[in-house]
Amino acid sequence: MNFFEKIFIITVFNKYIRNLKEVLSLVVIPREEQPALKKAWFTYSLILINIIVYVYTSYNNLLLTSTNESIYKLGFIPQILLEDPVQGVLRIFTSMFTHANIFHIFFNMYFLWIFGRSVENAIGHKRFLILYLLSGIAASIFYFAFIPIGGYDSLVIPAIGASGAISGILGAYLLLFPNTKLMFCLFFIFIPICIPVSSIIFLIIWFSEQVIYGFLELGGVAYFAHVGGFITGIFLSYVFFKDSSVRLNYHLLMEYSSMMEKIGIKGMPRRIGKWTKYFLTFLFILILLAFSSGTAEVYATNTNIYFLNVTANGQSDVVVLKLYSGKAEVSQSSVDEVRILLNRIPESFICNKELANKNITYREFYNVTINGVSVPVFLDAVFSYRYDGIVDYASGNISTYIVLTDIYGNSNLDGKVNISFNMTSQYTNIKEPLVISSSASILLTIGAIISLFRIEEALSVSFYDLWRERWI
């Protein structure tokens, strides 16, 4: 068994342990006590479509995980949006129906089933579908706008899942059914601990977590995509409620709830307290400031972005080269061969203004430090540099050693490896797209703040007045 096979097995094992840990300790499971009144056909249809797509992307892996090929083929990758806008926009839609593993799709579909039915009953089938799709689109916009905060490696990492679109459903649910009772369940080892809470408490806690985790830059989850979907759901709920037919349908739902209360079945109170509005507004303002500071930083530090297309021993990947304030950073690759290669090539070989417009042949021994270990490297390659000193093309071989790190953090040299590689670079203009996405995100956030304080006007109109407005 060679080194890369060992790494693959360890990676797969760790991934399943991590998923199990999420299920047992981090997952919060809600259960709605208010049943939906009508068949929520679009909710069920969306669940079915998501399941069909997941079966297609994961059947080669026994339905446990989607293949990497399908994730990169269907996921939203900002790099593709920048290079091919048509393909990038198409990826926004395909990514909404693509999931990484069985846990990912299970909990997303569970949340869609729990919250989607009531929202669809309240606003109608067509508007529900519009809410779902627009929230998913907004999630991708927020994901892109927060790249300066979340890290530029997000430019080449596929974002997948219905979470952004479902977050829009949660935002709508917050406004429409703020006091519906939910069962709030946390897993302690294998034992679920459940307590009844109002939907407003559950959703405020959930949204706060997304904002906090997003600012903490916790990897693996597109938290700001969830934030964008949630904000869009709040905004669109108010927009939809300006239509008298939606308000009439919602009031019919409330009248039914009132009738149920009279026979002992708890109804659905529909008021959001002022402190809830103030708290959400505070979070929204933090998000607005983040948009502004992130975009301003790109201009203040004169940040420039290059994509490095690297092939190492036949394995390819794209990484991000970020230049800012005279410094250079190269993002990590998920491909072992590419990561090893880039960790062995000095920064001065990739970015050096003194080498502008030159072709350099390197045949030399040197050492690099990896996890505190000095690693010998022999490089035999040709590098061609752009006018700005960025490597334009490189091709050759390196001979080096693998560094293995145990669970205690101790590192040592392992086997020798030879890597044949090619590398090309491409500059991308990220400043204007960031301004556009940030502006759209700011407008949606401001719209959500306005919606929080004006939704009561739409909900407070009497059933009789709505009936007259609609039919007389």
**Over 70: is that where the pLDDT of 9 sits?**
no
Indicate the burial class of 157 (C-beta count within 10 angstroms; 0-12, 13-18, 19 or more): buried
Residue 10 has pLDDT above 70, yes or no: no
Instruction: Dump the DSSP string for 90-123.
Output: HHHHHHTT--SBHHHHHHHHHHHHHHHHHHHHHH
Task: Give the C-alpha separation, 358 to 220, whole Å.
Answer: 39
Domain definitions of the chain by residue range: 10-300+431-471, 304-428
Confidence of residue 298 (pLDDT cuts 50, 70, 90): confident
Beta strands of 110-236 (E only): which ranges? 181-188, 191-198
Q: Is the pLDDT of residue 470 over 60?
A: no
Segment 64-111, tens digit of pLDDT: 999 999 999 999 999 999 999 999 999 999 999 999 999 999 999 999
Nearest CA to 253 among 243, 267, 239? 267
* Contact status, residue 391 vs residue 384, Cβ threshold 8 Å: yes
Instruction: Render pLDDT for 133-158 as a digit per residue (tens, 0 to 9).
Output: 999 999 999 999 999 888 888 999 99
- Helices vs strands, H then E, count in the chain: 17, 10
Looking at residues 410-423, what average pLDDT do you find?
91
Average pLDDT over residues 248-256: 53
Structure tokens at 458: 């739409």
pLDDT in tens, 446-455: 999 999 888 7
Region 187-196 average pLDDT: 72
Q: Is 161 left (phi over 0), alpha (psi -120 to 50) or beta?
A: left
pLDDT of residue 372: 87
Range ranked top by mean pLDDT from 12-16, 24-28, 350-354, 422-426 = 422-426
CA–CA dist 442, 313 (Å, integer): 44
Q: What's domain 10-300+431-471's superfamily in CATH?
A: Rhomboid-like (1.20.1540.10)
Top pLDDT among 148 and 197 is at: 148
Q: Is the pLDDT of residue 245 over 70?
A: no
Taking only the tens place, the pLDDT of each residue in 211-220 is 998 888 766 6
Name, in order, each residue with C-beta under 8 angstroms of 360's C-beta and a sequence gap of 6 or more.
382, 383, 384, 385
d(CA 186, CA 98): 26
pLDDT reading at 364 higher than 60? yes
pLDDT of residue 23 exceeding 80, the answer is no
Q: What is the mean predicted confidence (pLDDT) over 261-279?
A: 65
* Ranges 254-268, 307-321, 322-336, 391-405: which has the least confidence: 254-268
Are the C-beta atoms of residues 168 and 236 closer than 8 Å to each other?
yes
Residues 320-346, mean pLDDT to the nearest whole number: 90
pLDDT of residue 328 exceeding 80: yes
Which of 238-252, 320-334, 347-361, 392-406 shows the lowest per-residue confidence on average (mean pLDDT)?
238-252
Of 2-6, 31-35, 57-61, 205-209, the range with the lowest mean pLDDT is 2-6
Q: How far is CA 13 from CA 9, 24, 68, 304, in A?
A: 6, 17, 16, 37
Percent of the chain with pLDDT over 70: 81
Where does the pLDDT of residue 466 fall: very low under 50, low under 70, confident under 90, or very high at 90 and above? very low
Mean pLDDT of 156-175: 93
